[in-house]
A = this chain, B = another copy of it.
Amino acid sequence: MSLKPLGNRVILKVKKEEEKVVGGIVLPETAKTNQNEGEIIAVGTGKYHGEILVPIPVQVGDKVIYKEYSSSSIDLDEEGTYVIMDADDILAIKE
């Protein structure tokens, strides 16, 4: 069984704090990002701009950082391992 997010939503698997790897183009190796990290598990259809449906700019498997305390974020399980949120609250993709 699986969940297919609707509209501009994505489902994320949250990265546990202890596993967090420091990174980023420009970040020195001792820096730690304050933002939450996660992996994209499922992606909705996108968002309308005027009459055009613009796809969500992330894909399943992408590692992303997202807004801490995003108001659009909703836990899907009791441990908060899986969350569904608005794709606009994804800040950046780690490459």
Contact = CB atoms under 8 A, between A and B. Distances in A.
Contacts of A74: 34-35, 67, 91
A15 interface: no
Interface residues of A, number: 51
B31 A3 contact: no
A5 B67 CA distance: 12
Contact of A50 (B1, B4, B50, B76): B50
Contacts of A1: 21, 23-25, 94-95
A9 B90 CA distance: 11
30 contacts: A1-B94, A1-B95, A2-B95, A3-B24, A3-B26, A3-B92, A4-B94, A6-B58, A6-B92, A9-B91, A11-B25, A11-B92, A24-B77, A24-B82, A26-B82, A27-B81, A28-B81, A31-B76, A31-B79, A33-B76, A34-B74, A34-B75, A34-B78, A35-B76, A42-B92, A49-B51, A50-B50, A51-B52, A65-B76, A84-B92
